[in-house]
Structure 1
């Protein structure tokens, strides 16, 4: 029997973030899986609670390097507001009319069911049932780990793992929270249900297009497609991501090209070896970093984001041993950004530096003439205004 796949569509505040797809362990944790599937599909309604669903539920506890938790469908559905109650409730499909009608329950946590698959938390992205701290006290709350958690071994039902959308989990993990782990902005499950291979895995704050062979996770430490200790394989992956961005750039898909280039830059910063450890690969990664700074600056210029174009060209110009032609490109692009911002003196300075680094480029002469003429025109206009003021 194949494991069931479910999806959770996540938003933070007013922004859609993307989809998490989870593989459920049907055979290892059948009761937990059956419950979770129903919570995702909303196919069960109980008197006194209503529809049991994760749709509209908020993440109420987020702890970096530990886990993200939600599923309180008693107090965590609807209005985004911190309270002493949120995180204390829950209701599974196994709740009975008798317990729902009873006033004896101190916690509004109904339908408690048995522990299953009390395994080891040796890796991130495991789905597990939250409980009240007692055996066999599972309800509807669950959490996703974001790192190995050996202190939880044998204490919680592990009923699935994240298959796709790990970057969405990381985005939730890194969202601002207060001292109790309650998020500053509403982190919510907008939609959920059964997932299959014909469906998409939308992602809104990164690009998961596999064009050019980019099969790699957004966050370098989460990828399992190559050995991170193999510097050559890491470079190959990093360069593939960069080339994926270039293919998107050629399609004029500038926003996604930018996301790819920035993803590649994250891989560079994660995997570049020290010169003393691996000189050849250190040089390869450094050259790739230079190309990425140039590419990112060009994308920003095409997106009319002149400030970031200036930022990334400056990053390149601050590096050591940058080839003259690459320096010329950086000066030219930064000059164009300054010119677009009407900062003519700075534009002229960069165009002249470009000319020094690449004297054979005839286009730069025209740029210099253009800026100098505009500077002179400004000076003349200023003189006339001053003369008019004193006349």
Structure 2
């Protein structure tokens, strides 16, 4: 039976879902013993060697996340249970998938305590680094780390700390649980178990939109936008209608309506929070989708875009945009206000120019 290990990780002080690993102890027993021992804590010469309290010091999106330097914390330290370094055990396992656990090194036979977790297949590392395990739960935490902003040396801008670690059995690993909002899906579609056919992507996108709407109603705007953006990632698996679209035009119409509605929801929150450039970005996506855009969506996008343009003092474009936002009383009121502001702005400009040439 394979050995399993776990990390309890915090990002900027906030606890994340635990990451559980299956270790390949049959094929690379020496390497896995080193990792498992450091997860448990290993006494050596009166010192405790452990991953607990250490951090992930190197993050490269679309490649890997690296940690395990518990002596210096910057990628120049670390130590194995066998000594400072130990030899490459074998290269039986290949870097052919994301979420593989592999030894970091400084060249042949220089393994210590540092490790990395792949976030994509990395075949160029084959026969250079020893793969000794894989992530079996907690992939969303790995993705959260991967997507952090980093400094010029690839060090995350916020601390990513292994708060606790140890070994366990497969039976100790809890089944995936929905988060506090009821969201049971992986954060990124690439990690979804199964085939994301268009109807499945639509189903997940719909559920995530509903979760976001519920959070929005509860005034949890940040959570709402997070869920809506996640919905867009799943819907984005099929950015274009497939080759059989002609057979099911009604479905693809609803697919586009769902996607547009999520963009408009994000634009609404951005507008209320005065993030006007974000409003322009989200409404541009909707308005560029001319083929499947409904009149209601067009008017809603133009209204939110027009209000944002007015707030940015682009009164000319704001007026033209709001003129395409329908005849709702709120639209008429906003359009009148923009025209008045435009008039006052022009008057101030003329007055300023007249003083220049007086």
Scaled to the shorter chain, the TM-score interval is: 0.7 to 0.9
Q: Which residue of 2 aligns with 1:164?
A: 138
1:1-391 aligned at under 5 Å gives the runs 4-9=4-9, 21-25=19-23, 28=26, 35-40=34-39, 43-47=41-45, 50-54=47-51, 55-59=53-57, 64-65=62-63, 67-73=64-70, 77-78=72-73, 80=74, 86=76, 90-95=78-83, 108-109=84-85, 112=86, 119=93, 123-130=97-104, 133=108, 139-148=112-121, 152=126, 156=130, 158-166=132-140, 168-169=142-143, 171-172=145-146, 183=154, 189-194=160-165, 209=179, 211=181, 213-224=182-193, 226-228=194-196, 230-279=197-246, 280=248, 281-321=251-291, 322-354=293-325, 358-359=326-327, 361-382=328-349
**Residues 377/183 of structure 1: CA separation in 2 closer, same or farther (3 Å cut):** closer
**Residues 345/234 of structure 1: CA separation in 2 closer, same or farther (3 Å cut):** same
**Residues 130/236 of structure 1: CA separation in 2 closer, same or farther (3 Å cut):** same
The whole-number CA distance in structure 1 between the counterparts of 2:156 and 2:128 is 33
Larger radius of gyration: 1
Cα displacement (A) at 1:254: 1.3
Partner of 1:92: helix, strand, or coil? coil
The whole-number CA distance in structure 2 between the counterparts of 1:251 and 1:63 is 33
**Residues 153/368 of structure 1: CA separation in 2 closer, same or farther (3 Å cut):** same
Cα displacement (A) at 1:176: 6.8
Q: Is the 8 A contact 1:71 1:142 kept in 2?
A: yes
The whole-number CA distance in structure 2 between the counterparts of 1:187 and 1:153 is 33
Count of residues in correspondence between the two structures: 344
Cα displacement (A) at 1:298: 0.8
Q: Is the 8 A contact 2:57 2:155 kept in 1?
A: no
TM-score, normalising length: structure 1:
0.70
1:310-338: CA deviation from partner (whole Å, max 9, x where unpaired): 12112211221311111111111111112
